[in-house]
Amino acid sequence: MANFTPISAAIGGALIGLSAVLLMALTRRIAGISGIFAGLINPQTTDRAWRAAFIGGLVAAPLAAALLGHTVPAPRMPASYITVVIGGLLVGFGTRLGSGCTSGHGICGIARLSPRSIVATGVFMMAAIIVVALTHHVFGG
């Protein structure tokens, strides 16, 4: 477990939880990123301003960190753009069909003890674990 970073993980997780509680307290909204982003890019949406503000805040976080001297490392992604596109399409379509992602179901949903979110989180976790096992070990990677 050489890569385990429990302290920064706990601090970061607490900040994510705090954000979800603040958004709920102030606007009674669920901090589900897939829903917020999908509503922002959907031409039929009418409440775009708060969505744009939330997404803007997300993007501003690493820029603020960089100003404080903590440069965000470049994301390491698969070499094949075909894989990247397939992954992106699956994440986008799946989160809309399933009404949420890691934040909306995995954190906000489980925190309010929603059976739907608990089941959804179990399903996407298991699916991801199986995909990683297959792509990294069975088929090489």
Partner 1 sequence: MPILASLVCGFVFGCGLVVSGMIQPTKVLGFLDFFGIPSGTWDPSLAVVMAAALAVAGLGYALLGTRPPLLERQSLWPTKKDIDRSLLSGALLFGLGWGLIGLCPGPAIVDLSTLSPPVIVFTIAMGTGMLAYDLRPARASGATWKSLVSPTAADG
Q: Binding to partner 1 (CB under 8 A): which residues in 18-47?
A: 18-35, 37-39, 41-45, 47
Residue 62, SS3 per DSSP:
helix
Contact between 121 and 109 (Cβ < 8 Å):
yes
For the segment 50-109, give every residue that binds partner 1 (CB under 8 A): 50-51, 53-65, 70, 72-78, 81, 83-109
Size of the site for partner 1 (CB under 8 A): 120
Closest distance to partner 1 from the beta carbon of 125 (Å): 7
Closest distance to partner 1 from the beta carbon of 51 (Å): 7
C-alpha–C-alpha distance, residues 94 and 96, integer Å: 5
Under the binding rule (CB under 8 A), the answer on residue 139 touching partner 1 is no
Contact between 40 and 59 (Cβ < 8 Å):
no
Closest distance to partner 1 from the beta carbon of 20 (Å): 4
Q: For the chain, how are helix, strand and coil distributed in percent, rounded to 5?
A: 70, 0, 30
Contact between 121 and 115 (Cβ < 8 Å):
no
Overall size of the chain counted in residues: 141
Under the binding rule (CB under 8 A), the answer on residue 137 touching partner 1 is yes
Residue from 1, 67, 139, 140 binding partner 1 (CB under 8 A)? 1
